[in-house]
Structure 1
Amino acid sequence: MDCHPRGRGRGRGGRGNRNEESRDVRLSKSLSYALRHGANKMGLQMNSDGFVFVEELLAHQQFRSFSLEDVERVVATNDKQRFKLCNHPEDGRLQIRANQGHSVKVTDLELRAVALDDPDYPREAVHGSYMKHWPSIRSQGISRMNRTHIHLAPGLPGEGGVISGMRQSCDLAVYIDVAKAMSDGIQFFWSENGVLLTPGDAAGMLAPCYFSQAQRLKPSPCEIELH
């Protein structure tokens, strides 16, 4: 499968143009919704590996104001590498998918399973959230909600090249003892853009017993009690 970074051009008006940047934000958000959640509702055909053909995407009413160049630019410049462009291995048609974050079931997302004997698996990972949710998280655990996975990062954004796994706006970091969770049979996977994913337990949860520490991130980092 021919998969590679594409579309590094500046596009109409250049990235320095404020209107262009706002268009890119709108396109990125629309792509995230379509490729993670809404393809079927929008009448878009999504393959089992999560890919949608770009020509079909751009023909949809929601994307008709955007061009192939716009899509390529947004994919190439997205700071969290949320999307992947590929040529279909059989007919060469260009296709796009989200690397993670799906609420729809994608069976062939090319996730890499993490094993306890992997030399590079993170013993600890971070889930980003918000202090307003801390009372519920502390008592009940972290839920995957309507998504297929809980998202974790191998560190805080900016640490050791960490680019994705939690939002920059998060003011709560909950550290997960990955080794303990894996020893209890909970599975973890790496996405293509370096996000650590887990479906959680049978109920879709990471229980508080797997929390190793928690921090309030803003206005300044401060450890908070787990119990």
Structure 2
Amino acid sequence: MFSSRNRQNAAFPLWCPFTAAQSATVPPTNGNVEQTRNARGGRGGKRGRGRRGNRDGQDRDVSLSKSMSYVLRHGANQMGLQMGTDGFLFVEELLAHPQFRSYSVEDIERVVATNDKQRFKLRSHPEDGRLQIRANQGHSVQVMDLDLKPVVAGSLDCPAEAVHGSYLHNWSSIQQQGLSRMKRTHIHLASGLPGEDGVISGMRKDCDLAVFIDVPKALADGIEFFCSENGVLLTAGDTEGKLLPKYFSRALRLRPTRSILPLQ
């Protein structure tokens, strides 16, 4: 599934998971940028740049982060934005879109720098130096050059276990059918549970189900795993996009108290 360009030699840590949006615009939860700009007085909306609090009282940085996640993971093409095969999009083109005109380069740089899960990466284009941005993982569109590091069986950076976060109402289906990448390109796994040392991403904080995967066993069956730049383990699963229950090593109910769930 991945080209040789994925197999980079860059240094990584010891080792390193929604459904695609249903419309071609940023979801309504991000607020109506045009109405917000008009409410502040003036089409340019410059007084609002860098300030927090939109008309719904939602933190502007959270709103911007959600909007960027949608565009960079799912909706760039539908919104008329050109994303490269490496997932990068020019920041100036993003800010020129009506959905982002109330934001500035400084806003984007701040959101990228302060994002607790390190979802985004900024870089200067290697040829002309123009600022670009991409999502590190979570795509429903094919991105071939994400600088993913392959996990090799038997290597020091091959984990014995990785964990996928979900919700208890999904457990009956997961228990019988396994984990599915669904409309995304990968199943996401973390190196541990949220709050554990070194775990910054790979699972939503509100998950109440944790499914642990025997990584060496899956690798032995030819299932590929890759590590993203922010430490998330990614796999496309088998030919049907799944990690079958035979690769589950254990499962935990996380709330209200932690307890072991039977695998069968």
| Pair in the same fold by TM > 0.5 | yes
1:43 equivalent in structure 2: 80
Aligned-residue Cα RMSD (Å) equals 1.3
Within the candidate set 107, 118, 138, 2:175 is matched to: 138
SS at match of 1:175: strand
Q: Which runs of 4+ in 1 moved over 4 A?
A: 17-21
Tell me the distance in 1 between the aligned counterparts of 2:197 and 2:159. Answer: 12
Counterpart for residue 249 of structure 2: 212
CA distance in 2, matches of 1:18, 1:171: 30
- Letter of the aligned partner of 1:155 in structure 2? G
Q: Which amino acid aligns with 1:95?
A: Q
**CA-CA distance at 1:39 after TM superposition:** 0.4
* Gapped regions of structure 2 (runs ≥ 5): 1-48
In 1, are the aligned partners of 2:186 and 2:237 still within 8 Å (CA)?
Answer: yes
Aligned equivalents of 1:189 and 1:109: distance in 2? 10
2:195 matched residue in structure 1:
158
Give yes or no for the alignment of 1:127 onto 2:177.
Answer: no
Give 1:61's aligned residue.
Answer: 98
**Partner of 1:102 in structure 2?**
139
Query: Displacement of 1:159 after TM fit?
Result: 1.4
Q: Once the 2 structures are TM-superposed, how far is the Cα of residue 97 of structure 1 from its aligned partner?
A: 0.1
Number of aligned pairs? 214
Q: Distance in 1 between matches of 2:61 and 2:195?
A: 23
Q: Cα deviation per residue 1:7-54 (whole Å; 9 max; x = unaligned)?
A: xxxx845xxx66697101110000000000000000000011000000
1:25 aligns to 2:62 (yes or no): yes
Deviations 1:42-100 (A, max 9, x none): 00000110000000000001111111111000000000000000000000000000000
TM-score by length of 1: 0.92
Q: Do residues 85 (structure 1) and 122 (structure 2) align?
A: yes
Tell me the distance in 1 between the aligned counterparts of 2:141 and 2:99. 19
The structure carrying a bigger strand percent of its residues is: 1
With normalisation by structure 2, the TM-score equals: 0.79
Give, in whole Å, the separation in 2 of the partners of 1:146 and 1:220: 31
Offset, 1:120: 1.7
